[in-house]
Chain A
Amino acid sequence: MKLSDLSESSLRDRLAGEGLTLRIAPVAARIRSEVPAVAEGLRLHYADYELLDGEAFCDFHIRISPPANLRRWFRRQVRFLHDGISPFEPMPWEHAFPVFEWGLNWCMANHFHQYLMIHAAVIERADGRAAILAAPPGSGKSTLCAGLVARGWRLLSDELALIDPRALTLTPIPRPISLKNESIEVIRRFAPAAVLGSVSHDTHKGAVAHIKPPRESVRRAAEKARAAWIVFPRYQAGAPAEPKPFLKARTVLRLAENAFNYAAFGETGFRALVGLADACGCYEFSYGDLGEAVRVFDALPAGER
């Protein structure tokens, strides 16, 4: 059964009651919330995800709820709770859905150490070759990811590259792509067919909107992928879309800098990154025009062995 099989009211009831359990690729998450924006966001973005009815074991027990103070009514806020623990400050009520997304990222980054996790988007070309786009926030990583996904690349993740530290495979966790500020308009123009959720204004990252992950990517979420390219993208107004080969040794260091739990793996983590860089074409990539960038990616030569 999929989430879209639930009626709007039963979705709300479940969220407000005993909780809704979703299979989000490798994660089973139980979600509870009486906040309407969470129900709306889940209904739009997670429509194609499998419902785990009566699942006994959940990786994460998530709750989005108003704080137990005046901010419940006045200048309303929501807080994110992971099994009763609130890892960050309450945020405005209107940002409830982004709060859920950030919170789920936090859960992954702090608990899912069976994978080496890098802050990166992962997408796969039709020929089965995947690219890791690693970059700090604000580099245009998500925009590029959304552009490629709109042109048929499979979405594995917009935020988290889940790397098996020994097999070096990439485990998908396709979730909504988070766009910020100007990127929202860029994608609206570039991919009018993309399903965009409502815009949350004035978050700590500015305006944020999410794109629904393609149904096909969600359907294939159990299929692991292999990286063929590691790319460090950077949006730069007016720059030609140009992949510049990047030293492998420096690629390893840059990946480590963008990793959430590199230190937890010690030597194994180092070997994993070296193995990945060895097997991939490594590039720095600046782009000013999304269409041009997508064309370059479509034509990227197969990785080097």
Chain B
Amino acid sequence: MKEDLVSAALAEPGMLAQCSLERWDRLIRQGRAARLLGRLAVLLEQAQLLASVPEAPRRHLVAMRLLADQQRIAARREVLLIREAIGRTGVPVILLKGAAYTMAELPVAEGRAFGDIDILVPRVALADVESALMLAGWASIHRDPYDQRYYRQWMHEIPPMQHLRRGTVIDVHHALVPPTARIAADSDAMRSACIPLEGLPGLFVLAPADMVLHSATHLFMEGEFDAGLRDLADLDGLLRHFGRDPAFWTRLGRRAREVGLLRPLFYALRYARESLHTPIPAALMREAEAGAPSAALRPLMDFCFRRALRPKHHTCANAWTSAARWLLYVRGHWLRMPLHLLAVHLARKAFKREESTSSAPEAALRR
């Protein structure tokens, strides 16, 4: 298989010092596809290597870093507006993923490309939260009744809502993993251990070990791997940051067993160490082995994840990559829905894809 330069660079930024322009060309393209150019720029800067990058590729790194910085500022503002909108209901809001990393000012947020804002609220408060958000200008993106039903029945979130004026998107979750999932995780235990954000009443983030476990679950138990490497880089960043406290590692293993998320933890540790050289204590690696898939399944999972956790770019793919991604897509749904419904759903998605629309160039240009 051709070289995955982004993982190599994330694992060892020093390797970029002797990178030829031809490799830089591939690295920038792979990094763009993986949405990791901003993050790479930050790591290079921290290693004091950014200035020595040849100008042509450096421009792209700096440009995406700039964009990430502004996205972070915009996301902070958006989170405060969300808090204001939901605040009237008195419902506590737990921030997840990017929004959590940003508001908790974790180093992993630096240079990270932003997508939607993810929040978690109690299931019983869902109707209140949804209407509070609608009053403040957010509306559901999916008008299709099938999509609406699909989300509400099979997902742990309601259909994404988009702000009518600002165009920002919010994903409202009511559980950390899908309710019908074949993995039985104790969402409530994680939820009740959440930590208030200093100076931001009403806003919470998951405790460090839970944050890692949620990130791992989200990555390894769902079917979309378009930003798979980006999410693995998040895990790497979180582990390196929290892992400076030796007690964290013990807590992480224990917590994974407690809440029933040893399997995703196993995958996270295995592939973060393999691809990004995340330093992980041997004791925890052994402990996580208890969550490993069976010996028969393991080669297949390796086969799939090793391909899907690369930038989605033809310069680091081989003939099996799309098959691997497809298998993981089906697996993601299998983990969530009963088999007969899964078949219907996939067939429907296959048809829908044909008639999907995208925007005219003028609109795309303006994006």
Please give the residue numbers on chain A whose beta carbons come within 8 Å of chain B beta carbons, in ascending order: 28, 56-59, 61, 83-89, 99, 102-103, 105-106, 109-114, 137, 204-205, 260-261, 263-266
Contact = CB atoms under 8 A, between A and B. Distances in A.
Nearest to A110: B367
B59 interface: yes
A56 B25 contact: yes
B300 interface: no
A106 B57 CA distance: 19
Interface stretch (B134-142, B144-152, B232-240, B352-360): B352-360
B288 to A, nearest CB: 36
Contacts of A111: 32, 60, 63
Chain A at the B interface: SS class: loop
Contacts of B32: 83, 111
Interface in B320-367: 357-362, 364-367
B20 interface: yes
A264 B72 CA distance: 10
29 contacts: A56-B20, A56-B24, A56-B25, A57-B22, A57-B28, A57-B56, A58-B25, A59-B56, A61-B29, A83-B33, A84-B33, A85-B33, A86-B358, A87-B358, A88-B358, A88-B364, A89-B357, A89-B360, A102-B361, A109-B366, A110-B367, A111-B63, A113-B64, A260-B366, A263-B70, A264-B66, A265-B66, A265-B70, A266-B73
B106 interface: no
Nearest to B62: A114
B66 A84 contact: no
A84 B56 contact: no
B15 interface: no
Given A57-B28, A88-B359, A113-B67, 6 more contacts: A28-B56, A57-B54, A83-B313, A88-B361, A112-B59, A264-B70
A109 B365 contact: yes
How big is chain B's contact interface, by range?
35 or more
A110 B366 CA distance: 9
A83 B358 CA distance: 18
B314 interface: yes
A39 to B, nearest CB: 21
* Most chain A beta-carbon contacts within 10 A, residue among B20, B60, B69: B60
B316 to A, nearest CB: 12
B314 A105 contact: no
A61 B21 CA distance: 15
A103 B361 CA distance: 8
B365 A106 contact: yes
Given A114-B63, A264-B70, A83 B361 contact: no
Contact of B59 (A61, A102, A114, A263): A114
B314 A112 contact: no
Contact of A57 (B57, B67, B69, B367): B57
A263 B74 contact: yes
A215 to B, nearest CB: 26
A61 B73 CA distance: 31
Interface of B: 20-22, 24-25, 28-29, 32-33, 54, 56-57, 59-60, 62-64, 66-67, 69-70, 73-74, 313-314, 357-362, 364-367
A204 B365 CA distance: 14
Contacts of B20: 56
A29 to B, nearest CB: 12
Nearest to B359: A88
Contacts of A204: 360-362
A85 B21 CA distance: 22
A112 B60 CA distance: 7
A112 B314 CA distance: 23
Contact of A106 (B24, B33, B67, B361): B361
Contacts of A61: 29
Contacts of B56: 28, 57, 59
A59 B21 CA distance: 12
B321 to A, nearest CB: 13
Contact of B362 (A59, A84, A114, A137): A137
A113 B66 contact: yes
Shortest Cβ-Cβ A-B pairs, 9 listed: A56-B21, A113-B63, A56-B22, A57-B21, A102-B361, A88-B361, A57-B25, A57-B56, A87-B364
B16 to A, nearest CB: 14
A87 B360 CA distance: 9
Contact of A105 (B28, B62, B365): B365
A112 B63 contact: yes
A140 to B, nearest CB: 17
A89 B365 contact: no
A102 B365 contact: yes
A85 B35 CA distance: 13
Contacts of B22: 56-57
Nearest to B20: A56
Contacts of A106: 361, 364-365
Contacts of B74: 263
A84 B64 contact: no
A102 B359 CA distance: 13
A106 B367 CA distance: 9
Contacts of B21: 56-57
A264 to B, nearest CB: 5
A112 B64 CA distance: 9
A110 B364 CA distance: 9
